[in-house]
Amino acid sequence: MKSIVIELQEMSSDENIPITGLIRKALIVASKLNLSDFMEWIEKEINGYEEVSEIPEYRNVTGEVKAINPNNGIWIPLLWPNATEGVYNRKIGQKISEIEYNYKSADGTIVVPFTQEQQQILIKNFNTPSPPYLIINKAALAGILESVKDIIVKWSLKLEKEGIFGKDMIFSEEEQEKAINNQQIRIANFYGILGSTFTGAVSQEINIDVKNNDLESLLKHLKLKGINSEDLEGLKQSIKIDPKPKQKDKLGGNVSKWIGKMIEKASSGAWNVGLSIAANILTNAIYSYYGLK
């Protein structure tokens, strides 16, 4: 009788098995054992991560900032010696199938756009006429794929050690009970995917305490994020001058300039926050203040 857990181990070590086939087999095992945390992780890998705060740390990759040369259409690298680490780092939330597809493609890369505010700062510092992008290379994508494989094989080995096999794709009541009651067979024990890596600087911006039209709550929130009193006063004055926007991408000119100034501070290291995190902190807080969901 064939064990589905042993099959999972065999698939994990077979380089010819697509990651999508492996992870779907893992979903079958997790579903039959009623391991909801593992099912949640697998489904996010299959469908992609909707929130930055949910993306595991192994999907945090480093890339190169490049722009298209308008004269010949070739990517050119842009070097910025004083850039903070956040400029070159990004958490990739795409479906695992898309990552695998890009990894196996001719150039094996993913092109990640910056936000409009970030692009303005980068264009100014890189002095380039075309928008810059973050290029994630083949090695970084391979690292994500290997991390997923590693998690699955370690999990399957732990199941085997605990006497959980699933012969003929069926788990006995005893095996199911072992799996549910054994705290060692949890996704949190494999690279700490849930918990610490599902929280952090960016996730803190998702559940913020800024109230609609409450300026003091906005200023207090941003002060806790490390923005000094002088910059907060600048935001206060900008909000007073600008008309209230009706949609997210239509912030007033003064508030937009203030955000650009703060992102520039983040990029130079004057505000000790990564560039991508800075943009999230500012826009989420200001959108909450304006009641723009």
Give yes or no for a contact between 199 and 53, defined as CB atoms under 8 angstroms apart: yes
State how beta strands 60-62 and 64-68 pair: unpaired
What share of the chain in percent tops pLDDT 70?
A: 86
Confidence check: pLDDT of 280 > 90? no
Provide the pLDDT for residue 34: 92
Q: How much is the pLDDT for 1?
A: 67
Domain positions in the chain? 4-48+143-198, 57-141, 203-290
pLDDT tens readout for residues 27-68:
999 999 999 999 999 999 999 998 888 888 889 888 888 888
- pLDDT over threshold 60, residue 179: yes
**pLDDT for residue 293 is more than 70:** no
Residue 102 has pLDDT above 70, yes or no: yes
Distance CA 41, CA 155 (A): 13
Its pTM stands at 0.62
State the pLDDT at residue 85.
53
Q: How confident is the model at residue 207 (pLDDT cuts 50, 70, 90)?
A: very low
Please give the distance of CA 85 from its chain centroid, rounded to a whole number. 15
**Mean pLDDT lowest for which of 133-137, 235-239, 245-249?**
245-249
User: Is the confidence at residue 148, as pLDDT, over 90?
Assistant: yes
Per-residue pLDDT reduced to its tens digit, 181-197: 888 888 877 765 433 33
C-alpha distances out from residue 192 to 6, 170, 187, Å: 24, 28, 7
Res. 80 pLDDT band, cuts 50 70 90: low
Mean pLDDT of 135-151: 90
Residue 265 confidence (pLDDT): 75
pLDDT band at residue 83 using 50, 70 and 90 as cut-offs: low
pLDDT at 79 over 60: yes
% of the chain exceeding 90 in pLDDT: 35
- What number of H helices and E strands is found in the chain? 11, 6
Enumerate residues 6+ apart whose C-beta is below 8 A from 162. Answer: 178, 179, 182, 184, 185
Question: Over 50: is that where the pLDDT of 240 sits?
Answer: yes
Q: What is the mean pLDDT of the chain?
A: 82
- Amino acid 121: pLDDT: 77
> How does residue 119 score in pLDDT terms, banded at 50, 70 and 90?
confident
Q: Is the pLDDT of residue 164 over 80?
A: yes
